[in-house]
A and B are shown apart, each in its own frame.
Chain A
Amino acid sequence: MNFQIAMLLGQDGVTNGAIYALLALSILLVFTVTRILLIPLGEFVTFGALTMAALQAGEPTRLVWLLLALTLVDCALDLLAAFRSARGVRLPKWVPFKLGYALLLLVLVQNLPLAELPMAMQAILTLALVVPLGPQMYRLFFQPIAAAHSLVLLIVSIAVHVAMVGVGLLLFGPEGARTRPFSEAGLALGPVVLNSQTLWVIAVSLGLIVALFLFFERSLYGKALRATAVNRMGARLMGISPTLAGKATFALASLIGALSGILIAPITTLYFDSGFIISLKGFVGAIIGGLVSYPVAALGALAVGLVEAFSMFWASNYKEVIVFTLIIPFLLWRSLTSRHVEEEE
Chain B
Amino acid sequence: MSAAAFLRPGSFAEALELRAARPEAVAAAGCTDVLVELNFGRLHAESFIDLTRVAELGTLGVEGGTVRIGAGVTYDALVRGAGRDVPALAAAARTVGSPPIRNRGTVGGNLASASPAGDCHPPLIACGAEVELASASASRTVPVERFFTGPKRSVLRPDELVAAVWVPKADGPQAFAKVGTRNAMVIAVCSLAVALRPSSLRVGTGIGSAGPVPLAAHAAEEHIGGHLEEAGAWETRAPLRPAAVERFAELVAQAASPIDDVRGRSGYRRHALQVLARRMLTWCWEEYRHEPRWAA
Q: Does A pair with B? A: no
Give B contacts to A, CB under 8 Å: none
